[in-house]
Structure 1
């Protein structure tokens, strides 16, 4: 399988959304009667869309409105919302900054430490409106923020990094034991990001309630250009889905695959 790209090196053809199309089947259905609902951790959601945990996308008001419409918006616990009492003022500063000023400004703004009391406050602000509360943090902060988020009323906890694995190596900080952490949580834990069958399967075996798939396909992502890593999104999603199907046959547990990034149109969402 695959093609030779050099002596001793093989590669296979992979695909992005622009390179494929859906083939109509032998049965048609009224679009108004299509069921797009999905389930996570025993709860059903009407719209299969999650807004990314980006400071420029999700704040408290956005999360509340997204939940009202049937979807989920993920609040970034490592960002502006949990560092500043009035995040709107900070976001306005960033928006007004010139392209030459923006990088230094953002770097300076993110030096301020995260306040645990603001994590609790933001979660309760969303929860007060009876909206689903999904929050995200990097692996290094998972143990610190997980218990706070859970006690404050979060419904979904996401551990997300550019690339995640169950065998992370670091001498600079304590590496979170994903399996142990998930067992300690009473709410669903989503893990990401990954792009391969094997890693997706290992994350499911660690106890993930959902898997985020995608490295570098997003409009604001520079991973592929900076690090040279990634897999075209359709192939990555398909491989992770195959791992999910294997895991389901083996355990009876169905783990949602969440394709993260690279979608520019409604057609891309349908393909995903």
Structure 2
């Protein structure tokens, strides 16, 4: 697969949402009779859309509203929601700041430490509203905050990093044992992000309950510019979906994949589903 781009180097043609279109089918179906729900563990969602764990997107109020509409919003456990008793006032200050002061203000806002009691409080606020409570942390904090979140009643735990792999090599620090973590947690663990067949398969074999797909396509993401990493979302989704299907065929366990980022129009969401996504973020 691929073509030569120089001596001993091959490249593969890949596709983003703007490079493909969906061919109309032979049967017309009433949209009201289409079932597009998806499941994570024992939780089923009627709307296959997740809201990203970003301070500028999800707070408890938003998570509750989206949950009641049938979707799922993920709350960031390492942002302002768990550093301040009243995070709304903090976000309001940022929103009102001019461009010159905004960067300094944002940096200042993240100086206070994360308060473990606020992690539990935010989760309980979501649970009190009767929705599925999903929260996220980076791999370095997953063990600590995962235990707190699970004890507080969280339903889904998301581990999110720029690029996720099962194998991690370092002689300077202890690496995160994903397989051990998944066995320890009694709630579904979602992991991201990945863009290739092989890595997706290894993550599923480690015991994850859902996979976020996408490196670099998001509107707020700088990964491709800074590190040069990424695979266009159409190809990434197709490859990760193939890994999901192969894993399901071999084990009987279905791990949903969630195309994360890179969608600017409603049609892009349709394309993601056609490429094999179970949901989008």
Q: Same fold (TM over 0.5)?
A: yes
Aligned pair 1:36/2:41, yes or no? no
Q: Residue 189 of structure 1 corresponds to which residue in structure 2?
A: 189
Indicate how the Cα distance of structure 1 residues 171 and 101 shifts in structure 2: closer, same or farther if over 3 A, else same. farther
Q: Residue 91 of structure 1 corresponds to which residue in structure 2?
A: 91
How big is the shift at 1:172?
5.1
Q: Secondary structure at the match of 2:246?
A: helix
Q: Secondary structure at the match of 1:95?
A: helix
Q: Residue 156 of structure 1 corresponds to which residue in structure 2?
A: 156
Q: What are the equivalent positions in structure 2 for 1:1-272 lying under 5 Å apart? A: 1-171=1-171, 173-272=173-272
- Asked if the contact 1:140–1:174 (Cα under 8 Å) also holds between the matched residues in 2, the reply is no
Separation of aligned partners in 1, 2:148 and 2:42: 22
Indicate how the Cα distance of structure 1 residues 203 and 129 shifts in structure 2: closer, same or farther if over 3 A, else same. same
Q: Secondary structure at the match of 1:89?
A: helix
How big is the shift at 1:101?
1.9
Deviations 1:105-140 (A, max 9, x none): 212211211110000000000100111100000000
Q: Secondary structure at the match of 2:35?
A: coil
Is there any run of 5+ residues in structure 2 with no aligned partner, and where?
Answer: 273-281
TM-score w.r.t. the length of structure 2 is 0.94
Separation of aligned partners in 1, 2:102 and 2:218: 20
Separation of aligned partners in 2, 1:239 and 1:72: 24
TM-score w.r.t. the length of structure 1 is 0.98
- Asked if the contact 1:140–1:173 (Cα under 8 Å) also holds between the matched residues in 2, the reply is no
Is there any run of 5+ residues in structure 1 with no aligned partner, and where?
Answer: none
Q: Secondary structure at the match of 2:28?
A: coil
Separation of aligned partners in 2, 1:102 and 1:232: 31
Indicate how the Cα distance of structure 1 residues 171 and 88 shifts in structure 2: closer, same or farther if over 3 A, else same. farther
How big is the shift at 1:230?
0.4
| RMSD, matched Cα | 1.0
Separation of aligned partners in 2, 1:29 and 1:186: 39
How big is the shift at 1:173?
4.2
How big is the shift at 1:26?
1.9
How big is the shift at 1:148?
0.7
Deviations 1:50-73 (A, max 9, x none): 000000000000000000000000
Deviations 1:167-211 (A, max 9, x none): 123455432200000000110000100111011000000000000
How big is the shift at 1:96?
1.6
- Asked if the contact 1:200–1:240 (Cα under 8 Å) also holds between the matched residues in 2, the reply is yes
Separation of aligned partners in 2, 1:229 and 1:176: 22
Worse-matched range after superposition: 39-48 or 166-175 = 166-175
Q: Secondary structure at the match of 2:234?
A: helix
Q: Secondary structure at the match of 1:44?
A: strand
Count of residues in correspondence between the two structures? 272
